[in-house]
Amino acid sequence: MRTSFFPWLIMGWIGFAILPWYALEDGFWAFEWLIDGYPFDSDYAPALLQIFQDKEWLLPLLFPLLFPLCVFNRVKSDPKYASTLVISGGFGLAYILGQGFSVGISGWEFSTLESLFGPLETRQFGMGYGALLTSGAFLILLTTGLAAAGNLRGDVFVTSAIGIVVALVATFVFLPVGKILVSAFINDEGLYALSTFTNNFFTKKIWGIDCLSTSVSCGVGLNSFFLAILTATSTTLLGLGFALVATRTDFRWKKSLRVLTILPIITPPFVIGLALILLLGRSGTITQFVADLLNIEAGRWLYGLPGIWLAQTLSFTPIAFLVLIGVVEGVSPSMEEASQTLGASRWHTFKQVSLPLMRPGIANAFLIGFIESMADFGNPMVLGGNYDVLSTEIFFAIVGAQNDQSMAAVLAITLLMFTLSAFFAQRIWLGKKSYTTVAGKADSGIHAGMNPLLRRICMCVTIPWALFTIVIYGTVLFGGFVVNWGRNNSFTLQHYAEGFGIGWSEGNLVWEGAAWDSFWTTITISAIAAPLTAALGLLTAYLLVRQKFGGKNIFEFGTMLSFAIPGTVIGVSYILAFNVPPFELTGTAAILVLCFMFRNMPVGVRGGIAAMSQLDKSLDEASLTLGANSFTTLRKVILPLLRPAIVAALVYSFVRAITSVSAVIFLVSADHNMATSYIIGLVENGEYGIAIAYSSVLIFVMLSAILIVQKVIGERKLRRTNRLTSQSDTTKSSTNSAPMEKQA
């Protein structure tokens, strides 16, 4: 094979000797430096010239850039070739990072270095074009060397891909999360102390159990736990009810039940909470009606546990439904028929055969409900009342009057503990039993009908609930068109005009509405983040499914970690990690894009894994045997077959970027304000009209995006079913699996 490291070395040299080494103040896309003193101005100079100004510590970087030239004429199989590249790449990368973390914006970063070398007069900014390009080159040199040494069958592409994903995950997941976890141990004086953690962790504030016996509220940790258990139970039961109705009854509108499943994904945060207040609050429409009818006093029961529970159940039931419907459908009818043939009643069959087979689905739905509820920020924020939960407490520990970062970190650790234990508990409960029912054998039976009583219960619970959901969304739609809900119900377009007005001035179109700014930013940033998220997710999935390498489990855990971390924690950790060199990103659009990429990546990974496990490996092998390399195989064979999974990942990451809120509020800046953070401002100000109008516009935009894409996939699906029946399965599972892993 004809692969050479030479182009990468040239790239390293370009970064080192030509491009500005440091980040430019005016932003990544500003090219003012070309005409403003380049290459000698110290702000714009490449590293080669910086060495002669006052940044001598960049000098050792010449070594890894020159050393590979020694093996320029050698063949790949020569052991010197491999070791030279590994040494140069490894040293170069380590040195760039080492100097970046050691010398910061105000000289030495570590006091030990200062006492060793004396105070440093100069300083350095974040990594710019040059530094990034050179680091990239070193990374590839390192992986090329590792591949030449025989790792991963000498496949340069696979080795480099793993190297890149590891580097990205380390930088954008482990570094920030590590930073915030460490801050749990830093006391007021800025010193590390275990007592800081223990003092904050073992307190009544987190673990108090007073609510069991008195009217005093419990600790936030327990509050969150109770709420999560309640929500997970109710969403799982309702989801199961819906799934049974949709698959085992002749209910007339069961097709439209599926439409419900996309609702929570396209609903901006706060919306359900707001609608509930307008309907069920003390002066809500329904409350007033009931109070007048029964002549009782309107209460405030909505604020607190009941309200959050209700809102979360409304929000997350569709997700449980989505998870369970596949499983309920998948239970093999022949097993049920066998049971009935052996004389078991319908109820007995359901209890002894069908239900145990649904266990993985139920466990998954419960787990997702639990984690969603734990990480949910919008609903407790609006409806919390005196019921404090971890996610909001973390937020207020940082932005509130106490401004206690180590407290926030401790709360974040508590939250993380709960979500991770839930993962493990689920693994244990499912155990190693086999739940396989789709075995590829002919399976022509039909599902047993439900026991009449069970059927009645399901119908009686699910239909009113579905109607209630419709009423809630109706309120959202309608709420944007009334002057002042509940007080002045006359029709108005004023909220829309204020937010989305368009005017003409001097022959130009003027975006007059106050919301346009954040609206376009949101759409642009989401549109940039979506393809990057999908690409990274699917690449990772490819590595996980198709390649074998050491540390694969840790690698998988790393890529999934950001799913279990609540958004608030991610937001704060990004500010902490990326405000100072070597990675200076706060205030840019890039930090928002990166945040979305790494928060939504697990979904792309999961979807990709699901889709890819269904593609027979012999396809790749055929391509490889015919002489294509792994990159060509991925591009020409696997990707075309994965098209539906790609589209699903694209849509999902686009929509998630629009609706995410808890991480975003910390990362927005004047130039890049996002819709959700703008809506929070409106809600805080009590401007419910515009907030709801804005939310409806977002729902509409996302819905149309999904429908357009759905249409495109739909056509593909049709063509593929004609040619290759197995493909339709892929399409279904991948489009379904994506929304399963919605997070707050």
Partner 1 sequence: MTKKNIAFGFAVATLCAVSAVSAQAKEKLNVLCAADEEWCNLMKSTFEKESGVDVSMVRKSSGEIFAHIKAEARNPKVDVWWGGTGDPHLQAAAEDLTTPYKSEQIDSLLEWAQNQAKQGDYKTVGIYAGALGIGYNEELLKEKGLPVPKCWADLTNPAYKGEVQMANPNSSGTAYTTLATVVQLFGEEKGFEFLAGLHSNINQYTKSGSAPIKASARGETTLAVTFMHDMVKQVKKGFPIKVVAPCEGTGYEVGSMSIIKGARNLDNAKKFAEFALRPDVQSLAEKAKAYQVPSNSGSSVPEGAPKLTEIKLINYDFATYGSSETRKRLLKRWDDEIKSLPR
Considering the rule CB under 8 A, would residue 486 count as an interface residue with partner 1? Answer: yes
Considering the rule CB under 8 A, would residue 402 count as an interface residue with partner 1? Answer: yes
Amino acid at 633: T
Considering the rule CB under 8 A, would residue 592 count as an interface residue with partner 1? Answer: no
Piece of the chain touching partner 1 by CB under 8 A; list 46-54, 213-221, 243-251, 636-644: 213-221
* Exposed/middle/buried for residue 80 (C-beta within 10 Å: 0-12, 13-18, 19+): exposed
CB of 668 to partner 1, least distance (A): 6
CB of 664 to partner 1, least distance (A): 12
Spatial neighbors of 2 by CB under 8 A, at least 6 apart, are none
Considering the rule CB under 8 A, would residue 669 count as an interface residue with partner 1? Answer: yes
Distance (Å, rounded) from C-alpha 245 to C-alpha 239? 10
CB of 400 to partner 1, least distance (A): 4
Sign of CA dihedral 145, 149, 150, 152: negative
Contact call for residues 24 and 45 (beta carbons, < 8 A):
no
Q: Token digits for 131?
A: 């530094």
Considering the rule CB under 8 A, would residue 729 count as an interface residue with partner 1? Answer: no
Binder among 233, 614, 673, 736 for partner 1 (CB under 8 A): 673
Spatial neighbors of 189 by CB under 8 A, at least 6 apart, are none
Instruction: Rank residues 27 and 60 by Cβ distance to partner 1 and give the closer one.
Output: 27
CB of 509 to partner 1, least distance (A): 19
Distance (Å, rounded) from C-alpha 378 to C-alpha 384? 10
Q: How far apart are the first and last CA of the chain?
A: 47
Here's the x/- map for partner 1, 4-43, by CB under 8 A: it reads as ---------------------xxx-xxxx-xx--------
Instruction: Rank residues 691 and 702 by Cβ distance to partner 1 and give the closer one.
Output: 691
Considering the rule CB under 8 A, would residue 221 count as an interface residue with partner 1? Answer: no
DSSP state of 170: I
Instruction: Rank residues 360 and 486 by Cβ distance to partner 1 and give the closer one.
Output: 486
Sign of CA dihedral 675, 677, 680, 681: negative
State CA 188 to chain mean position distance. 33
Distance (Å, rounded) from C-alpha 378 to C-alpha 680? 9
Q: How many CB atoms lie within 10 A of CB 281?
A: 22
Considering the rule CB under 8 A, would residue 668 count as an interface residue with partner 1? Answer: yes
Closest CA to 85 of 102, 106, 73, 71: 71
Which positions from 607 through 666 interact with partner 1, judged by CB under 8 A? Answer: 665-666
Spatial neighbors of 316 by CB under 8 A, at least 6 apart, are 231, 235, 264, 368, 369, 372, 373
Piece of the chain touching partner 1 by CB under 8 A; list 102-110, 142-150, 346-354, 421-429: 102-110
Contact call for residues 522 and 507 (beta carbons, < 8 A):
no
CB of 280 to partner 1, least distance (A): 11
CB of 179 to partner 1, least distance (A): 11
Instruction: Rank residues 4 and 403 by Cβ distance to partner 1 and give the closer one.
Output: 403
Which positions from 686 through 715 interact with partner 1, judged by CB under 8 A? Answer: 686
Instruction: Rank residues 54 and 671 by Cβ distance to partner 1 and give the closer one.
Output: 671
Piece of the chain touching partner 1 by CB under 8 A; list 104-112, 314-322, 437-445, 608-616: 104-112
Considering the rule CB under 8 A, would residue 590 count as an interface residue with partner 1? Answer: no
Q: Omega into 582 within 30° of 0, i.e. cis?
A: yes
Q: How many CB atoms lie within 10 A of CB 326?
A: 17
Piece of the chain touching partner 1 by CB under 8 A; list 252-260, 433-441, 480-488, 695-703: 480-488
Residue with tokens 């809630």: 472
Closest CA to 546 of 164, 140, 162: 162
Contact call for residues 478 and 471 (beta carbons, < 8 A):
no
Binder among 225, 396, 418, 473 for partner 1 (CB under 8 A): 396
Contact call for residues 64 and 89 (beta carbons, < 8 A):
yes
Instruction: Rank residues 621 and 671 by Cβ distance to partner 1 and give the closer one.
Output: 671
Instruction: Rank residues 156 and 690 by Cβ distance to partner 1 and give the closer one.
Output: 690
Closest CA to 172 of 521, 667, 608, 549: 667
Binder among 60, 330, 501, 587 for partner 1 (CB under 8 A): 587
Residues forming a β-bridge with 104: 107
Instruction: Rank residues 480 and 499 by Cβ distance to partner 1 and give the closer one.
Output: 499
Binder among 255, 433, 441, 487 for partner 1 (CB under 8 A): 487
Contact call for residues 482 and 492 (beta carbons, < 8 A):
yes
Distance (Å, rounded) from C-alpha 139 to C-alpha 124? 22
Considering the rule CB under 8 A, would residue 237 count as an interface residue with partner 1? Answer: no
CB of 459 to partner 1, least distance (A): 35
CB of 196 to partner 1, least distance (A): 15
Instruction: Rank residues 26 and 729 by Cβ distance to partner 1 and give the closer one.
Output: 26
CB of 126 to partner 1, least distance (A): 8
Here's the x/- map for partner 1, 373-392, by CB under 8 A: it reads as --------x--xxx-----x
CB of 673 to partner 1, least distance (A): 6
Which positions from 120 through 179 interact with partner 1, judged by CB under 8 A? Answer: none
Instruction: Rank residues 331 and 680 by Cβ distance to partner 1 and give the closer one.
Output: 680
Considering the rule CB under 8 A, would residue 456 count as an interface residue with partner 1? Answer: no
Residue with tokens 């805080």: 684
Instruction: Rank residues 69 and 216 by Cβ distance to partner 1 and give the closer one.
Output: 216
> Is residue 538 helix, strand or coil?
helix
Instruction: Rank residues 2 and 487 by Cβ distance to partner 1 and give the closer one.
Output: 487
> Is residue 632 helix, strand or coil?
helix
Number of chain residues interacting with partner 1 (CB under 8 A)? 62
Contact call for residues 394 and 415 (beta carbons, < 8 A):
yes
- Crossing angle between the packed helical segments 726-740 and 589-613, to the nearest 10 degrees: 140
Instruction: Rank residues 229 and 399 by Cβ distance to partner 1 and give the closer one.
Output: 399
Instruction: Rank residues 328 and 570 by Cβ distance to partner 1 and give the closer one.
Output: 570
State CA 465 to chain mean position distance. 28
Containing H/E element for 510?
strand 508-511
Instruction: Rank residues 51 and 177 by Cβ distance to partner 1 and give the closer one.
Output: 177
Considering the rule CB under 8 A, would residue 190 count as an interface residue with partner 1? Answer: no
Q: Token digits for 601?
A: 């990546």
Piece of the chain touching partner 1 by CB under 8 A; list 100-108, 163-171, 235-243, 471-479: 100-108
State CA 704 to chain mean position distance. 22
Binder among 73, 112, 214, 434 for partner 1 (CB under 8 A): 214
Considering the rule CB under 8 A, would residue 682 count as an interface residue with partner 1? Answer: yes
> Is residue 102 helix, strand or coil?
helix
Containing H/E element for 685?
none
Distance (Å, rounded) from C-alpha 247 to C-alpha 448? 10
Binder among 254, 258, 282, 455 for partner 1 (CB under 8 A): 282
CB of 706 to partner 1, least distance (A): 30
Binder among 94, 182, 216, 471 for partner 1 (CB under 8 A): 216
Considering the rule CB under 8 A, would residue 292 count as an interface residue with partner 1? Answer: no
Contacts with partner 1, residue ranges (CB under 8 A):
25-27, 29-32, 34-35, 104-106, 204-205, 210, 214-216, 277, 281-283, 300, 303, 381, 384-386, 392, 396, 398-403, 484, 486-488, 514, 572, 575-576, 579-581, 584, 586-587, 665-666, 668-671, 673, 681-682, 684-686
